[in-house]
Amino acid sequence: MADKPVLWITRRLSDATLARAQNDYECIINHEDGEHTADDIIAMSAKVDAILPCHSEVFRDRTVDELDPRVKIIANHSVGTDHCDIPALNERGITVTNTPDVLSDATAEIAFLLMLGAARRAVEGDRMVRDGKWDFWSPAFMVGKQVSGSRLGIIGMGRVGQAMARNARGFGMEVHYYNRSQLSADKEQGAIYHETVESLLQVSDFLSLHCPATPETTGLMNQTRFALMPDGAVLVNTARGALVDENALIEALKSGKLSAAGLDCFVTEPGGNPALSAHDNVFMLPHIGSATVTTRDAMGFRALDNLDAFFNGATPKDKL
């Protein structure tokens, strides 16, 4: 790349990522790490050849229509692309990429943390100790739901789902899954395939969501589907908030249909849902599934690999 392309990095990425980017590109970096409006994105697009955004930058509707023709590639720093209207961007001749593969283990770790924390009443117990209210014990005290040996249902058996299943096998869990198609035996590793979500839900003592947010999966877990689950089941969501009807979730928790939930994503982000905060049996994290140093470096480097390929005249590995 003789003349360095101008690259806009929309958020504060890892130090290693920024160092590599600045070596190979003329960079405009959002060191302040604030979010951007549609007007911000449109205005900046006239100054750059490429954009390296996160899921917090939305490329839809007017933003896509008014992007400056100078922008040739959007190299997302995320595996999810529900913030991008990919067909509309492609129609404008803009290449879109993402960062698959590199965040599966970190996200599966958070899913397992949420599952354990929700099942064993971590929020309630932590608050009790911190508030100085732990003054009692009996065999009936703080009894939770055992994870080991239970049945885990996974919706979406892609990379993260398979990593979650691998972790679950270490706890002796019986893994069931729903996917658009059945996996090969070597990838299933003994997991039991279900042809419908409804069939899966009936055997899911724990349910972990690992599918993308699409028009078809929005509100995937609703009142009707919660009703199909075993009494006292636990929901875990580290995928996208849009997959869950949060009002239906709250009702399922109030009724005891669900004993707990572990959530790393919400319909409204950032911020979450204040109504969920009132429930001690909901273990919540602020969308940090991929937030490890190793994974953040890997995500940034994967996005830069895609940019390098594009500007060297090759097809990016992760072109969508």
* Active site residues per annotation: 240, 269, 287
Q: How many helices (H) and strands (E) does the chain have?
A: 13, 12
Q: Whole-angstrom Cα distance, residue 299 to residue 290?
A: 9
DSSP assignment of 183-235 equals PPHHHHTTPEEESSHHHHHTT-SEEEE-----TTTTT-B-HHHHHHSPTTEEE
Q: Which of 78, 101, 216 is nearest to 159 (CA)?
A: 101
Q: Which of 311, 316, 306 is nearest to 52 (CA)?
A: 306
Provide the residue type at 28 as one letter: I
Question: Cα-flanking dihedrals φ and ψ of residue 7, to 5°?
Answer: -120, 130
Q: Which of 287, 233, 283 is nearest to 262 (CA)?
A: 283
Asked if 26 and 5 count as a contact pair (C-beta separation under 8 A), the reply is yes
